[in-house]
Amino acid sequence: MDTKSELQRTMDALVQAGKGLLAADESGPTIAKRFEHIGVPSSEETRRAWRSLLLSTPGLGEFISGVILYEETLGQRADDGTPLPEMAARQGIVPGIKVDKGKLALAHAPGDEITEGLDGLAKRLAGYRQQGARFAKWRAVYNVSDTLPGRLAIAANADVLARYAAICQEAGVVPIVEPEVLMDGAHTMARCAEVSEAVLHEVFHALHRHAVVLEHMLLKPSMVLPGKACGRTAAAEVAMHTVQVLRRTVPAAVPGVFFLSGGQTPSEATANLDAMNRLAPLPWRLSFSYGRALQEPALLAWRGEAGNAALAQRALLQRSRLNGMACLGQYQAALEDATG
């Protein structure tokens, strides 16, 4: 296997103008909460039905270049027997896989957390590749306060992210590096910017130490936002602060920055991405890797009813289309045209 050329083929497929990623990798507890909100029990069958609905949405590949799947989904099949990763691939959507094993408290660092899952990762990746996965995702989380995250958490999570990325590249799998600075709390936008800059500096130092090839990875950061308790901020301000942090920390060799939505509403996540892309020229492609911000309208339309599948798919396609426009900096202009 020519690992380098395989990684490049995957990168070329993922990083396309006007396209982003669908994050459908919710853990069991997370998807149970989403389903509870619409009155649907979370079982292997309901999860299969929902994710099959997502991946079979007609035309989705026009705006979605890749999908991040949960391990369970990688082995599931549609009603007609088609493996769900193959269903995605038929639309030109590259299947990917969440590989971390979740977070736990970081020892000797009250309030900070660390992500686990490195043990046996190379072996797991070989199995995931056989099931069709071509890229992977690992999430680190950073709680924010006047004192958090501590230096230990910033350094430890960066090292784990870099080790994960190096293992992926050696296995021929493109790594998505996701350092999420959480929105929870009452911190200011300035504090979020300060933490985000420190986190990203440390992450790229670690990636360099572990010889990760920047051209063959994607960054999935959070936007620079005030804590939820501080209220909302105008998209232009979010864009300015986020891009400033990226310019200070992210090498131009990284092909794409695919933002997580992190608790924003679907419309906020789209507007903020659009505002950033209107600050061009930028050295990286700025795109989206949204979970709830893409799925929420579709979930509300579906409500567990097979008869609502087409309606739910139209809702998903519409949000994907709007985010595709935001990738090109065309979302706000389209809104203004629509309102006359």
Which residues are identified as catalytic?
178, 220
Residues 235-252 as b or e (16 or more Cβ within 10 Å = b): beebbebbbebbeebbee
Peptide bond before 281: cis, by omega within 30 degrees of 0?
Answer: yes
Q: Determine the Cα–Cα distance for residues 147 and 78; give it in Å rounded to an integer.
A: 48
Q: Which of 279, 319, 284 is nearest to 298 (CA)?
A: 319
Per-position DSSP letters for 146-211, written without gaps between them: SSPSPHHHHHHHHHHHHHHHHHHHHTT-EEEEEEEE---SS--HHHHHHHHHHHHHHHHHHHHHTT
Query: CB–CB of 192/224 below 8 Å?
Result: yes
Output the six-digit token pair for 32. Answer: 């149970």
The three-class DSSP label of residue 74 is helix
Query: CB–CB of 186/148 below 8 Å?
Result: no
